[in-house]
Structure 1
Amino acid sequence: MPAESVLDTPLEEVLSGRLPARLAAELSLTTVGELLDHTPRRWVERGELTPIAALPVDAEVTVVARVESVGTRRMRSRAGFIVDVTVADPSVEGVAGASLSMAFFNGHDAKRRLAPGVTAMFQGRTTLYRGAVTLNNPDFALLDDDVAPGEVDVRPVPLYRATGKLPSWTVRSAVARVLADVDLDAVPELLTPSIRERAARVLDLPAPLPSTADAYRSLHAPEDLAQTGPARTALALREALVAQAALAWRRARERERAAVARPRLAGGLLDALDARLPFALTPGQVAVGEELAAELAGTAPMSRLLQGDVGAGKTLVALRAMLQAVDAGGQAALVAPTEVLAAQHHRALLALLGPLARDAGILSSAAGEGPAVDVVLVTGSQRTPARREALLKLASGQAGIAVGTHALLSEKVAFADLALAVVDEQHRFGVDQREALRRANPGTHLLVMSATPIPRSVAMTVFGDLDLSVLEGLPSGRQPVATHVARMAHGPRVIARVWEVIAEHVAAGHQAFVVCPRIDPDDADPGHANVEEMAPRLRALPGLAGLRIGTVHGRMDQAEQDAAMRAFAAGELDVLVATTVVEVGVDVPNATVMAVLDADDFGLSTLHQLRGRVGRGPGAAICLLATRLPDGHPSLRRLEVLEATQDGMRIAQADLAQRGVGDVLGAAQSGLASGLTHVDVLADAPLIALAADVVADVMAAGDGLSAHPALAAEVTRWEAEHLTAADYLEKG
């Protein structure tokens, strides 16, 4: 075990009474480091008051205000008294001044300590009483309580994220005790003088960053607000250094494993595929293809993230890499997070390969003259005979390509010689499954495909152990998709127009998707769109009379889903009512309308993926995002982003900014990023890049991290003390 840092000191050794238990129960803070990393959400200068007029209703708030009046009255229904307190603020920056009434039931402390003219912080949940915002029994603290008599304290007051049972000033008092009693100068210093000077130069700072100890002091007890910015930057850079160093260390260890070289062979399956494609590869596909081909030909295992916008052609790039591996005598696996997606990928590969594929299942093709490859599907719900046959083909080496879910990673699945694993993330496939495949097949080349364009700073932090390839451009024939938000709050004519657009496109010989957020009705919200009710409702509409309307959702068994998808792709259905099972892998060039109902239920990245299901053929395509939200609702801004742009990177940045990395990529995929306390993976992009450059220089200067012993020790300590994050890193 590594030597403990002062930051690992349990709070029980520093704080007395029940406070350590309260901090652990309410905020999950158990060590000195965790408490110090619980940094203020903002600072209040002594003369600054909270704009009362802007307070939300039914929200936990912290109000800094001046007491205007204090009165006492007896309760009518039972014994006791109520202390009525009114606080107020002046007009500030265009926000009108307002007053706020508070009621303290049997409020002995309020009666004793609150008086007109006193400035205090109040914390509680706002409610409405006779049409006005009020606070009942709020916690409070006088701002002058910590000032010695005769002194004037002008220092900013930190406000912390708190809970109803643990107010901000209780956290503040705990931090003050830690700052007074713990030797922060003993914290291992990772920001050497040269790194601080480099940061000032690269980040264009007016002065070098403070030390770690001074950064903590300046964040929690600043002399003035100007100290807080450099302090936060210093702690963020320290955190980024540890994260990037841990990732780099692991990537270096992964590259030490030996892999069998799989060079491209002339006259094989890859050449045959390229010869039969009815279109030319895009420049982006050619460039990334050459990058992957070079790595597959090497003896160090490839670990690469392939990202590209919706419809950029990632599947074809992955198939070409898999065929290179098969041509060289190995096998390839394509792993998807769900059985629906695995089946869709299986169909897509068979369609691309045509006569080059041999398959005993759906869309079977009889191989013609020349090379051919067995492509098998392996899922958990397969019938036993089909699954047994697929597994035997993999174990014997007869099958060159396997497509499946995490069932492929089971100990019961043995490959004769797995050369390349392609993992289709689609936001849901976790790092644990990736590592399981690597451990079962040491030296296997790994290609991870991201369904969402990921800003570089996020990719460096979440997938930092993977090299990054960006697939630029879109294949020829892809059409822009006109996108409109259908505001149903404007009246019934809005949704009626959605159905009219579908009818018009079908009358012109095209097809439409209608996507619902739910499969069946929800008693809690009976108006919410669901597949079970929507399909018969559409069939009953006069404007859609006679249309062939089918359904597909995740609770249907695999055969039913496959049948519905095939019928739609074959033009046997005019409208497909579905859940997000159609988000990826569905290629129907004749589909020109995508209507998403209750679109505000979905994230931006999901909506962008859904929109990518249309515009794949020559017909003009349209995406209609129907919502019941009223004008002015903040969630409408998300939908307006899609209305304004088709740039996947801009959409991904907006989605990450609004929902956070964990929500967008999934907790399993963002274990490291969601555990960062000081680094904002979007706003701190230059800082993350700087940390990566510093770590690269350290790695180049010595064996591993030996050129920076303090950083090496901190990485080891950090992994040992943050087991969950370390697991994610190890399995990234």
Structure 2
Amino acid sequence: MAETTLTSFESAELSAFLGKKNSTALEKAFGYMTVGELLWHFPRRYVEVGELTPISELPFDEHVTVVAQVVNVSQRQMHSRRGFIFEVTVSDELSSGGQELKMTFFNGYQARTDLHIGTIAMFSGKVGWYQDHLQLSQPEYAILDEASQADPRPIPIYPASAKMPNKRIRDLMGLLLEHFTDQKLPEFLPRELLRTHHYPQRHQAFLDRHFPKEIKHAYVARQRFAFEEAFMLQLALGERGRQLGAQKAIARPPVPGRLADKFDAQLPFSLTEDQLVVGEQISKDLEQAHPMHRLLQGEVGSGKTVVALRAILQVIDAGGQAALLAPTEVLAAQHYASIKKMLGKLAEPGLFGEGEGTGVELLTGSAKSAHRREALLGIASGETGLIIGTHALLSDHVQFADLGLVVVDEQHRFGVEQRDALRSKAVDSVPHTLVMTATPIPRTVAMTVFGDLDTSTIKRLPAGRAPIHTHIVPMQLTGFRDRLFTRIVEEVEKGHQVYVVCPRISDTAAEQGVLLASYEDSSGQPMSVESMQEMLGGMPEFAGIRTEALHSQLDAADKQATMDSFARGEIDVLISTTVIEVGVDVHNATLMVIIDAERFGISQLHQLRGRVGRGGLPGTCLMTTWLDADHPSVGRLKTIESTIDGFELAEADLAERKEGNILGVQQSGSRSTLRELSIIKDRSLIEQARTDVGRLLADANWGSNYQGLLSAVGNWLDESTREFLNKN
């Protein structure tokens, strides 16, 4: 992809157009140093005449806009702190009633300069009440000269600061736009696309975004810039996907009668239709002489591990090795135990006298030296076909004989450098890559972040997975609170096991004293693992019930020992943090209690409840909260309570958290490249951009036909984002 510089206008220093004083002020306020950075400081909304409200009709506690003339100004010092209040009285310009309204500006230096008796301005703010009269506190305003009164345009309202108020931003933007020409901001999107979608050219779009003649022009310009970002991202992903396809990998076709077939023959259950379809997709990918790059997503307990294991065995049958990278030692050990159990004698190297068995090893940071040396030797010699581990697999000491497949579990927990480091251990070719996630990804997120990955989805749960019933427990009601602990005891008395998840590990001594003195009086204090363990230990009904704590501050050996004890049924109630969110698979666990559940996100809550109901026994998830039923955070819990569809919840989670940094470049310490595109609001734009890019890339020589676009896409991606896309 071409590396070019920005247009000279966009990369120019602001001081060349705005002067040293103004450019320094913009750098202090927003960190902007170049023309391009300021151009993308778009208004967050616009005020137009159609929104104006007569002063006599102002609604209390709502956002309003009025046009009025200043009839009086005054200033007084504040008593409680340093500074002054600048007060402005205005008279309504919309009606003849002479209605007046007060405005207050705290340390209003700019307002004191701008607003004089006789000044006509448009004021915008929230209506409040002070000393028996309505007022606007800290309103935004725009002074209206004769021209603007005769031809009123929408007033842009920018993200502002105390030292860089809205009016100054508008003035500086207007000064900058005087230097605009279409030559300085050339178009790079294909002209036919602009005509098809009725978007303005780039130069005009910037003008319309900042100072539109009509408000509809501003929103069309906003659509154009959002489409531009969607198009550039899809083009970057599409080009990278094509480059990946050109890389060389060793084909790993199925070998009839070997490990993969023997594994299928000994499975004690039938694979679901989804598992078979996805397995066939992966198998065909592995047959190719270019690297597979596939995302496998599926609900908790949907059987992703079995699908991945069948792919691993296909690679081993074809002479290669596989590495399974897990984010935690608990999860790595869980994978190791479950895979060894599923393989049985197939996990023994040299079985059947024909070398058809394979070694399976676990390598983590806490491995003892002797075991580590033995494991490294088996990996380097090729005797170990599958190595399961954590970040320890990335060590320079780990050398593979022939790494053919990299499987990354819970891929979102790894940085791009870590995933790339493992792939680089293949000696003569690029290994195939399968990344897995149990967190369902909405389609638009997958298209935006993983647009170059082939995506496979397992939606149907295997037979034997019992339903999980989820309920909110209002802890402020004594009956519900008492019933919660009784319910835990009842489940243990049935011979089942229980998870109790708390939002933090420990408390200060004072906090713990409050919690233990009276849980009822501690409703504002989040419960910790340590306090919960001590509280349950002091309840008579829990006498004889075996409880144990699990959290990240325990050393690796203790964590594993606790998990092993729980898996063997030697612990009745496991009190933990979210360390058990993924990978823990105890079939006898039937009850999940999540304490102070409002402190967890939707995806976390869904993952946690997926730990129960895994052994054919019905599962129950109880989410406790001290909040009132109408609290906004309880709405999140009601969403979890209402559905077990992970994809529906992923959409709700996305809407709640907004999109955040969807490119994931925070992993390399940078902000997102996306500034206008919203994967919530702009789904249709992303779909359209993906289609348009597909048509463009159908021509392998598109770059020679659209050289400006080729330059722009290299330009648009900042260095760290490009690194993310190249390594993801």
Which is worse superposed, 231-240 or 659-668?
A: 659-668
**TM score, norm. by length of structure 2:** 0.87
The residue number in structure 1 matching 2:379 is: 394
Q: CA deviation at 1:712?
A: 1.1
The residue number in structure 2 matching 1:25 is: 28
Quick one: structure 1 residues 388 and 712, their matched pair in 2 at CA, closer, same or farther if it must change by over 3 Å?
A: same
Query: In structure 2, how many angstroms separate the alpha carbons of the residues matched to 1:249 and 1:392?
Result: 39
Maintained 8 Å contact 2:533/2:547: yes
- Within a 5 Å distance, the mapping from 1:364-375 to structure 2 comes to 371-375=356-360
The residue number in structure 2 matching 1:363 is: none
- Within a 5 Å distance, the mapping from 1:290-305 to structure 2 comes to 290-305=280-295
Maintained 8 Å contact 1:240/1:688: yes
Q: CA deviation at 1:188?
A: 3.7
* Aligned mate of 2:451, from 464, 477, 488: 464
1:635-672, Cα deviation, whole Å (9 max, x unpaired):
22222211111111111111112113447896556999
- Within a 5 Å distance, the mapping from 1:243-254 to structure 2 comes to 243-254=233-244
Maintained 8 Å contact 2:659/2:680: no
Quick one: structure 1 residues 630 and 391, their matched pair in 2 at CA, closer, same or farther if it must change by over 3 Å?
A: same
* Aligned mate of 2:486, from 496, 500, 518: 500
Quick one: structure 1 residues 3 and 558, their matched pair in 2 at CA, closer, same or farther if it must change by over 3 Å?
A: closer
Secondary structure of the residue aligned to 1:675 is coil
- Within a 5 Å distance, the mapping from 1:103-182 to structure 2 comes to 104=106, 110=112, 113=115, 118-121=120-123, 138=138, 142-145=141-144, 147-148=145-146, 151-182=149-180
The residue number in structure 1 matching 2:13 is: 10
* Aligned mate of 2:471, from 471, 479, 484: 484
The residue number in structure 1 matching 2:370 is: 385
Quick one: structure 1 residues 85 and 465, their matched pair in 2 at CA, closer, same or farther if it must change by over 3 Å?
A: same
The residue number in structure 1 matching 2:724 is: 728
Query: In structure 1, how many angstroms separate the alpha carbons of the residues matched to 2:496 and 2:510?
Result: 36
Give me the identity figure in percent.
Answer: 42
Q: CA deviation at 1:282?
A: 0.5
Give unpaired runs (5+ residues) of structure 1.
Answer: 56-60, 91-96, 201-207, 360-365
Query: In structure 2, how many angstroms separate the alpha carbons of the residues matched to 1:639 and 1:156?
Result: 41
Maintained 8 Å contact 1:461/1:673: no
* Aligned mate of 1:262, from 252, 268, 272: 252
Paired AA for residue 305 in structure 1: L
Quick one: structure 1 residues 141 and 131, their matched pair in 2 at CA, closer, same or farther if it must change by over 3 Å?
A: closer
The residue number in structure 1 matching 2:518 is: none
Secondary structure of the residue aligned to 2:230 is helix
Q: CA deviation at 1:209?
A: 1.7
Query: In structure 2, how many angstroms separate the alpha carbons of the residues matched to 1:501 and 1:541?
Result: 14
Maintained 8 Å contact 1:484/1:623: yes
Query: In structure 2, how many angstroms separate the alpha carbons of the residues matched to 1:189 and 1:112?
Result: 38
Paired AA for residue 272 in structure 2: T
Q: CA deviation at 1:252?
A: 1.5
Secondary structure of the residue aligned to 1:483 is strand
CA RMSD of aligned residues (A): 3.5
Query: In structure 2, how many angstroms separate the alpha carbons of the residues matched to 1:76 and 1:555?
Result: 50
Maintained 8 Å contact 1:420/1:445: yes
The residue number in structure 1 matching 2:556 is: 558
Paired AA for residue 8 in structure 1: S
Q: CA deviation at 1:70?
A: 4.9
Maintained 8 Å contact 2:52/2:64: no
- Within a 5 Å distance, the mapping from 1:35-114 to structure 2 comes to 35-46=38-49, 48=51, 53-54=60-61, 70=72, 72=74, 83-85=86-88, 102=104, 104=106, 110=112, 113=115
The residue number in structure 1 matching 2:323 is: 333
- Within a 5 Å distance, the mapping from 1:593-608 to structure 2 comes to 593-608=591-606
Quick one: structure 1 residues 294 and 77, their matched pair in 2 at CA, closer, same or farther if it must change by over 3 Å?
A: closer
Q: CA deviation at 1:67?
A: 7.7
Quick one: structure 1 residues 358 and 133, their matched pair in 2 at CA, closer, same or farther if it must change by over 3 Å?
A: farther
Q: CA deviation at 1:111?
A: 8.8
Q: CA deviation at 1:431?
A: 1.8
**TM score, norm. by length of structure 1:** 0.87
Q: CA deviation at 1:382?
A: 2.2
The residue number in structure 1 matching 2:709 is: 711
Paired AA for residue 339 in structure 1: E
* Aligned mate of 1:513, from 484, 489, 499: 499
- Within a 5 Å distance, the mapping from 1:631-650 to structure 2 comes to 631-650=629-648
Q: CA deviation at 1:727?
A: 1.2
1:100-119, Cα deviation, whole Å (9 max, x unpaired):
76365697953982559954
Secondary structure of the residue aligned to 1:195 is helix
Q: CA deviation at 1:473?
A: 0.9
Secondary structure of the residue aligned to 1:550 is strand
Query: In structure 2, how many angstroms separate the alpha carbons of the residues matched to 1:533 and 1:11?
Result: 57
The residue number in structure 1 matching 2:400 is: 415
Paired AA for residue 553 in structure 2: R
Establish whether residue 312 from structure 1 lines up as the match of residue 302 from structure 2. Answer: yes
Maintained 8 Å contact 1:661/1:670: no
Query: In structure 2, how many angstroms separate the alpha carbons of the residues matched to 1:579 and 1:295?
Result: 38
1:155-187, Cα deviation, whole Å (9 max, x unpaired):
111112233443233333332222221324543
Query: In structure 2, how many angstroms separate the alpha carbons of the residues matched to 1:670 and 1:458?
Result: 20
Q: CA deviation at 1:417?
A: 0.4
Secondary structure of the residue aligned to 1:403 is strand
Q: CA deviation at 1:328?
A: 0.8
* Aligned mate of 1:226, from 193, 205, 216: 216
Quick one: structure 1 residues 376 and 80, their matched pair in 2 at CA, closer, same or farther if it must change by over 3 Å?
A: closer
Query: In structure 1, how many angstroms separate the alpha carbons of the residues matched to 2:132 and 2:345?
Result: 73
Establish whether residue 528 from structure 1 lines up as the match of residue 536 from structure 2. Answer: no
Secondary structure of the residue aligned to 1:24 is helix
The residue number in structure 1 matching 2:674 is: 676
Establish whether residue 349 from structure 1 lines up as the match of residue 339 from structure 2. Answer: yes
Maintained 8 Å contact 1:547/1:574: yes
1:309-344, Cα deviation, whole Å (9 max, x unpaired):
222111111111111111111000011223332222
Query: In structure 1, how many angstroms separate the alpha carbons of the residues matched to 2:105 and 2:260?
Result: 77
Paired AA for residue 513 in structure 1: Y
Establish whether residue 431 from structure 1 lines up as the match of residue 416 from structure 2. Answer: yes
Q: CA deviation at 1:49?
A: 5.6
Q: CA deviation at 1:46?
A: 3.4
